[in-house]
Amino acid sequence: MPELPENESQRLTLEDACLNRTIEKAELGNDTGYIELPGSNELGRLKGRQFTETRRHGKNVFAGSQSGPWIAVHLGMTGWLVPFDAPDDPPDYTKFLITFEGDRRLAFRCPRKLGHVRMIDDPDGYIAAENLGPDALDISEDAFREAIGSGRGAIKSALMSQSKMAGIGNLWSDEILFEVGLHPEAKGSDLSDDKIGEMFEAMRAKLNKGVEVKADYTKLPSDWLIPNREEGGDCPRCEGTIMRTKVSGRSAFHCDTHQT
């Protein structure tokens, strides 16, 4: 599922390709019964408006203007925002399509369930209503310590809790724990202040690198977990083996030797 780096890449795509263009119409694609999309009255609110700014919070991307309305996009498992120009056709599995004046178009492509596009009045109200914690790249170290260090459950689950901190999912929680040498089932309440501080710095460094490479994971360092995230593979940091464990129903990849 796309996490913070993918969503920041999508925000930059919207910023580069879709701002300050007048919207002629917004419409739904085919086979949209399984996905949450704006209704016909909401779609009409976009006509004649422009997106003048973008935002991202965790795994949510926003495009709109100071006076509204905004679209709030959650990519789900396989969603993606695709700008393109006419006369090219929309990509397959287009569920939502915006036509701007001129040739520019914006498609929300979503082959599977779980993604959505919502019409909202402002991002801050949406973030509060969805009970999202601070963005993982904006959270302060003190707030991070509270979110992670107070938990009695598995540390991987705490990192992935969007109400504690928004933006980290299965992939990047594994990467952070791999860096600091923590087993995904370790408890946050058992960690020292120094270890939590180390996690905070690792989280920021890792996510910033993911953003820097625009979520192209072939450009990540070879000694990271992500390029080696395969059960039974060799750990790139030590003589250990990459294992897969279930934590709160999610697969957790980790080294059996340096992560304790």
Q: pLDDT, tens digit, for every residue of 121-131? A: 999 999 999 99
Residues 208 and 155 in one domain: yes
User: Same domain for 189 and 154?
Assistant: yes
Is the pTM of the predicted complex or chain greater than 0.85?
A: yes
Domain assignment of residue 103, yes or no? yes
Q: Is residue 173 part of a domain?
A: yes
How far is 90 from 141, CA to CA, in rounded Å?
A: 43
pLDDT confidence of 223, banded at 50, 70, 90? very high
Q: Are residues 145 and 114 in the same domain?
A: no
Q: Are residues 156 and 206 in the same domain?
A: yes
Select from 75, 108, 129 the last residue of a domain: 129
Q: In Å, how far are 11, 44, 172, 199, 229 from 155, measured between CA atoms?
A: 29, 45, 13, 11, 19
Domain count, the chain: 2
pLDDT in the model for residue 33: 81
- In this structure, the answer to whether residues 110 and 145 fall within a common structural domain is no
Domain that holds residue 54: 4-129
Q: What is the pLDDT of residues 232-255, one digit of tens each?
A: 999 999 999 999 999 989 999 999
Is residue 61 in some structural domain? yes
| CATH number assigned to the domain comprising residue 245 | 1.10.8.50
- Residue 136 is assigned to a structural domain of this protein: no
